Amino acid sequence: MAAQGEHVTGTGFFTSVDDVSVRLAEVGYLASTAVATTVFLADRLGKPLLVEGPAGVGKTELAKAVAAIGGARLVRLQCYEGVDESRALYEWNHAKQLLRITAGRDESWDEARTDIFSEEFLLPRPLLTAIRGDQPTVLLIDETDKADVEVEGLLLEVLSDFQVTVPELGTITATRRPFVLLTSNATRELSEALRRRCLFLHIDFPDQELEQRIVRLKVPGLDAVLAESLVRVVGALRAMELRKAPSVAETIDWARTLLALGAETLDEAVVRDSLGVILKHQDDVLKAGSKLRLDAVVPAP
Amino acid sequence: MQIGPGETLDAAAALEALGLDHRERVRAGLAAALLRREGQRAAFDTVFDLYFPLAVGAPEGVRDLPVDAPAAWREQLAGLRDRLADALAADDRAALARLAAEAVSVLGRYGAPGSASDGWSAHQTLDRLQPQILLARVLAAIRAGQGGGGGQAPGQGQGQGGGQGSAGLRRAGEGFTERIEADEIRDRIEQFRRQVGNEARRRVAELRGTDVIARRAVAASPDQVDFLVAGRDQLAQLRRTVQPLSRKLATRLAARRRRAQHGRIDLRRTLRRSLSTGGVPLRPVYRRRNPGRPELVLLCDVSGSVAGFANFTMLLVQALRDQFSKVRVFAFVNRTDEVTDLVTAGRADPAGLGSRILAEAEVTGWDGSSDYGAALGGFADRFLGAVGPRTSVLILGDARTNGRDPNPAALARIAARARRTYWLNPEPRELWSTGDSVAGEYARQVDMLPCRNVRQLGEIVAKLLPV
């Protein structure tokens, strides 16, 4: 397989790491060095990319951004408890099969049998969809940790060989390898076998400088000084060991809120009134309030 | 870390694709190919910094310290501190890295050069440099910069338009963010301390050989950190691992319950259902189980030597409270008192739990050392009603009685009433029954398990959970 060369195994969306950063930025995704490097490697080596990290740091967004750049269709498999083969891989269209059988009553059974297990009666689900077809594809397997352990076994064949076996039809192999991105919030340990097949990327909260750029990009109307204070306060909140640390998505929400409120600076009243936008537990609001001394008396001017 | 030939191939392919021009890209690429989970990252970074050092030898422009000239020494130290304060105020990462290298080179050297015991010490460097005392100075510098730019008192919350700080200092005045400035500076100082540590390791590695240092210097991942020897940083990190751990346990439990549904066939109901299909049992009915949720009683030694361990267990139990129908927590040093209310009320502040228990519950008598015999006896006399046939009892402690009567009869009374009793001991098995430990004696009465880190604790708690 390795002898076939890089261009056959890789998806070929990108030419270099810089290319990744620049083009991701063009579609509104500001990537850190680690993200850009890993995306490039996944593209070049043709390996699936397993992305872990806290909620709201842009794991799913990354897949969408890559699809947008590559001009690729995005095939998404949203995992949940109880997702199974017929939801993930393929299903036979029983209703259509029955119709076919009733329509052709005078033919022999052998003719009908070979006919009803043909492509026409196959309902491709995300994994099969992503493998078939010649157009560039990004396959997003979202929240892999929510799926049951058996589904991981199903993923193994798809992820290592990019093929799906349908007993009646034979093995369907990808003619064009999709760019595969799996996300996980680490609520369940993924199996070692699955991890081994993937490149691993942990996206953490961005550093202050990057987060400021993200805020400026997503909420262009916000004053630069205010954006900076905002990001710093969010950074302080993350350091507080809250039950749910504010994510990038919440930073952006907060920025939008401040913009809507017409706040010009970040002062006590503004923070106290809008803390609910970034913190989602009452305990956290109380704790942050006392740590930021929101109830402290302000000396009269 | 398990890294097989497959990972090595990936790493090689990654390096081929990336080239070696950008250090941070090489780091990210290798991490993507070699690592499997986030917990491995700290160890990876340490090793990476050792094998791909930023620089070799002493930093440029650093002169050796004249040992016999205290005045010059003081002057250089003061200069170093000045520049460090400036760099901290400006949050200049590059300058901080340079200063860390310089500080180790100037202050960290110990032993005679060329002898077998010389080297560079991060500890000594930080001890002499004392970066933490710069906090007030850095804060003052930042505020002075703001005063120059905006010219108004902080805390007023008036817009300054595009007011800028003076050159080199971060941003113009914003009343509110001043509150978090101190924490931010502390963070930067902490970063600097880590850089000094890396630098010292790098220099020693040049001296002793990289492989030797790499083997010694790599820290354990958080779930493997020993409770009894964890530092302050590690404790904070451990606390953060407890929250996701409880979720993991809860999902594992849900899976176990689901599987348990497919247990034995309920013959009577299967036959009854088969009446509708003419007596052919098409669909079997499974026997439903009562998901009996057990009660849990926790009996924790909270004396100094094992307090950290008891804290973690309480945190974990707190997080898993809804998996048990009833949880009661008792703490003791040499007297036993119920602390269930303190534990459940303190969800928002896990850090202060231990000290709150010591302050508010009656867990000590006339001295502060633990006495297992008295504590177990007290529990058996006063709180035995908390233990019933559905109760699992967890006793936490190192079983070091300080030479007092272990009172195994009290333990036997508790164990006889409980459904299961486990003793979790944070000491390794080899140390049981050495010195004043009576672990062996207690282990004859109840199951005693070593529980030294979060991973082991998670496994034990999972075992207790109901199906």
pLDDT in tens, B170-190: 343 446 777 778 888 888 888
pLDDT value for B360: 80
At CA A128, angle to CA A124 and CA A130, rounded to 5? 115
Q: A292 and B179 in contact by Cβ < 8 A?
A: yes
Looking only at Cα atoms, what is the longest distance across chain B?
A: 105
Kindly report the number of other CB atoms within 10 A of residue B267's CB atom: 12
Q: How many residues does chain B have?
A: 467
By mean pLDDT, which of A160-169, B312-321, B376-385 is the weakest?
A: B312-321
pLDDT value for A299: 40
Nearest to residue B384, comparing CAs of B299, B260, B272, B270?
B299
Please check whether residue B10 touches A, CB under 8 A: yes
Compute the average pLDDT of residues A202-217: 90
Minimum CA–CA partner of B38 in chain A? A202
User: What token pair was written down for B142?
Assistant: 């930042």
Q: B32 and A200 in contact by Cβ < 8 A?
A: yes
Mutate one of A37, A229, A264 to test the B interface: name it (highest B CB count within 10 A).
A37
Mutate one of B176, B184, B243, B454 to test the A interface: name it (highest A CB count within 10 A).
B176
Question: Between B67 and B355, where is the model more confident?
Answer: B355
Please check whether residue A251 touches B, CB under 8 A: no
Compute the average pLDDT of residues B154-167: 37
**Confidence band for B427, pLDDT divided at 50, 70 and 90:** confident
Please check whether residue B65 touches A, CB under 8 A: no
Please check whether residue A233 touches B, CB under 8 A: yes
**pLDDT of A273 above 60:** yes
Question: Between B462 and B260, where is the model more confident?
Answer: B462
**pLDDT of A227 above 70:** yes
Q: How far is B186 from chain A (nearest CA, A)?
A: 12
pLDDT value for B261: 64
Element (H, E) at B450: strand B447-450
DSSP string, A138-204: EEEEETGGGS-HHHHHHHHHHHHH-EEEETTTEEEE-SS--EEEEEE-SSSPPPHHHHHTSEEEE--
Strand, helix or coil for residue B238: helix
pLDDT value for A138: 93
- Chain A residues whose beta carbon lies within 8 Å of the beta carbon of residue B253: none
* Greatest mean pLDDT range, A149-158, A265-274, B406-415: B406-415
By mean pLDDT, which of A291-300, B239-248, B281-290, B344-353 is the weakest?
A: A291-300
Q: How far is CA A42 from CA A39, A174, A195, B29, B456, in A?
A: 5, 17, 14, 10, 35
Contact yes or no for B9/B32 (Cβ under 8 A): no
- The CA distance from A199 to A202, in Å, is 10
Q: A236 and B158 in contact by Cβ < 8 A?
A: no
- The CA distance from A224 to A215, in Å, is 10
User: What token pair was written down for A63?
Assistant: 């897949």
Compute the average pLDDT of residues B287-298: 74
**pLDDT of B341 above 90:** no
pLDDT value for A265: 79
Please check whether residue A266 touches B, CB under 8 A: yes
Query: DSSP E strands: which ranges in chain A?
Result: 49-52, 73-78, 90-92, 122-124, 137-142, 163-166, 170-173, 179-184, 199-202
- Round to the nearest angstrom and report the end-to-end CA distance of chain A: 74
Compute the average pLDDT of residues B419-443: 86
Q: What is the pLDDT of residues B83-140, one digit of tens each?
A: 888 888 888 888 888 888 888 887 877 776 666 667 778 888 888 888 888 888 888 8
Kindly report the number of other CB atoms within 10 A of residue B253's CB atom: 17
Compute the average pLDDT of residues B191-214: 81
**pLDDT of B422 above 60:** yes
Q: How far is B109 from chain A (nearest CA, A)?
A: 33
**pLDDT of B66 above 70:** no
Q: B244 and A149 in contact by Cβ < 8 A?
A: no
- The CA distance from B142 to B178, in Å, is 10
- The CA distance from B155 to B178, in Å, is 8
- The CA distance from B344 to B328, in Å, is 10
Compute the average pLDDT of residues B218-246: 69
Number of Cβ pairs < 8 A linking chain A and chain B: 139
- The CA distance from B295 to B388, in Å, is 8
pLDDT value for B156: 38
Please check whether residue B208 touches A, CB under 8 A: no
Left (φ > 0), alpha (ψ -120 to 50) or beta: where does B27 sit? alpha
Q: At what angle do helices A94-103 and A109-116 cross, to 10 degrees?
A: 150
Q: Which residue matches tokens 């006392």?
A: A290
Question: pTM of this prediction?
Answer: 0.71
Q: How far is B136 from chain A (nearest CA, A)?
A: 19
Compute the average pLDDT of residues B375-399: 88
Backbone angles phi, psi at A36, to 5 degrees: -60, -45
To 10 degrees, the CA torsion angle through B402, B404, B408, B411?
A: -60
pLDDT value for A201: 93
- The CA distance from A69 to A294, in Å, is 44
User: What token pair was written down for A165?
Assistant: 């076996």
Question: Between A60 and B104, where is the model more confident?
Answer: A60
Please check whether residue B21 touches A, CB under 8 A: no
C-alpha torsion sign, points B141, B145, B146, B151: positive
**pLDDT of B371 above 60:** yes
**pLDDT of A6 above 60:** no
User: Which amino acid, one-letter code, is at A198?
Assistant: C
**pLDDT of A300 above 70:** no
Please check whether residue A8 touches B, CB under 8 A: no
Contact yes or no for A216/A222 (Cβ under 8 A): yes
**pLDDT of A223 above 50:** yes
- Chain A residues whose beta carbon lies within 8 Å of the beta carbon of residue B179: 292-293
Q: What is the pLDDT of residues B257-283, one digit of tens each?
A: 666 666 677 888 888 888 888 778 777
Q: How far is A97 from chain B (nearest CA, A)?
A: 25
Nearest to residue A289, comparing CAs of A301, A276, A299?
A276
Question: Between A116 and A178, where is the model more confident?
Answer: A178
pLDDT value for B220: 63
**pLDDT of A67 above 90:** yes
- The CA distance from B159 to A229, in Å, is 13
Q: At what angle do helices B178-208 and B70-90 cross, to 10 degrees?
A: 130
Q: Considering chain A, what is the average pLDDT of its residues? A: 85
- The CA distance from B297 to B309, in Å, is 16
Kindly report the number of other CB atoms within 10 A of residue B52's CB atom: 12
DSSP string, B404-432: S---HHHHHHHHHHSSEEEEEESS-GGGT
Please check whether residue B179 touches A, CB under 8 A: yes
pLDDT value for A26: 92
User: What token pair was written down for B347?
Assistant: 């969800």
pLDDT value for B362: 80
Strand, helix or coil for residue B316: helix
- Chain A residues whose beta carbon lies within 8 Å of the beta carbon of residue B239: 241
**Confidence band for B221, pLDDT divided at 50, 70 and 90:** low
Question: Between A95 and A7, where is the model more confident?
Answer: A95
To 10 degrees, the CA torsion angle through A259, A261, A264, A267?
A: -120
Q: B38 and A233 in contact by Cβ < 8 A?
A: no
Question: Between A3 and B368, where is the model more confident?
Answer: B368
Q: How far is CA A169 from CA A92, A121, A122, A173, B148, in A?
A: 12, 11, 10, 12, 77
- Chain B residues whose beta carbon lies within 8 Å of the beta carbon of residue A149: 255
**Residue % of chain B over a pLDDT of 70:** 79
pLDDT value for A141: 94
pLDDT value for B146: 59
Question: Between B310 and A207, where is the model more confident?
Answer: A207
Name the residue facing B18 among A17, A241, A269 (closest C-beta). A17
Name the residue facing B156 among A200, A228, A301 (closest C-beta). A301
Which residues, in sequence order, are bridge partners of residue A49? A181, A199
pLDDT value for A200: 93
Q: Which residue matches tokens 């010694």?
A: B216
pLDDT value for A183: 94
**pLDDT of B69 above 80:** no
- The CA distance from B36 to B2, in Å, is 9
Listed in sequence order, the residues at least 6 apart from A246 whose beta carbon sits closer than 8 Å to its beta carbon are A234, A237, A238, A254, A278, A279
Q: Considering chain B, what is the average pLDDT of its residues? A: 77
C-alpha torsion sign, points B16, B22, B27, B29: negative
Backbone angles phi, psi at B81, to 5 degrees: -65, -40
Please check whether residue A261 touches B, CB under 8 A: no
Q: At what angle do helices A33-45 and B5-18 cross, to 10 degrees?
A: 110
Please check whether residue A195 touches B, CB under 8 A: yes
Q: How far is B379 from chain A (nearest CA, A)?
A: 33
Q: A265 and B159 in contact by Cβ < 8 A?
A: yes
Q: What is the pLDDT of residues A134-167, one digit of tens each?
A: 889 999 999 998 888 778 888 888 888 888 888 8
